[in-house]
Amino acid sequence: MSFTLMDLGSENFELRANVWSWKPTLEIIKNLDILSDGKIRQMEYNATGVKIELEDAHQIGKKIQETILPKLEPNKRMFMDGSITDAPDDGTIYRDDDEKWKNYSASYEWLKDFSDFCLLSKGFQVF
């Protein structure tokens, strides 16, 4: 499953996310305490068209750059529980219930791209 984030100000400005990176990104956004729980729930599903307004998008981008990226550094990634690893993602699909959490992580590079998108956008819509 994938998600497409489309800028509210330009149809040609978009960012694509896979489910493996998007789920931990949503946990990060949730912990930033900017958006309502209802809006975050809508963002968990692709094609909802939920809108994130300009002010919220910019605040998300700014907080990720100020509070999350300094913890990660390039070549590190964050899991949904907020833990950080420098072990590269080797593409293994974990199927055991006790290990499924290892499937989802947001890399420094992905979060940098996402925060840049948030800051440059006029708000965005999730498809």
Q: What is the pLDDT of residues 44-91, one digit of tens each?
A: 998 899 999 999 999 999 999 999 999 998 999 999 999 999 998 988
* Residue where the block lists tokens 């590269």: 88
Q: How far apart are CA 100 and CA 3, in angstroms?
A: 20
Query: pLDDT category, 11, cuts 50, 70, 90?
Result: confident
- What pLDDT score does 119 carry? 98
Contact 85, 76 (CB under 8 A): yes
Adjacent-strand bridge partners of 4: 16
Amino acid at the residue 12: N
Contact 14, 31 (CB under 8 A): no
- What pLDDT score does 123 carry? 98
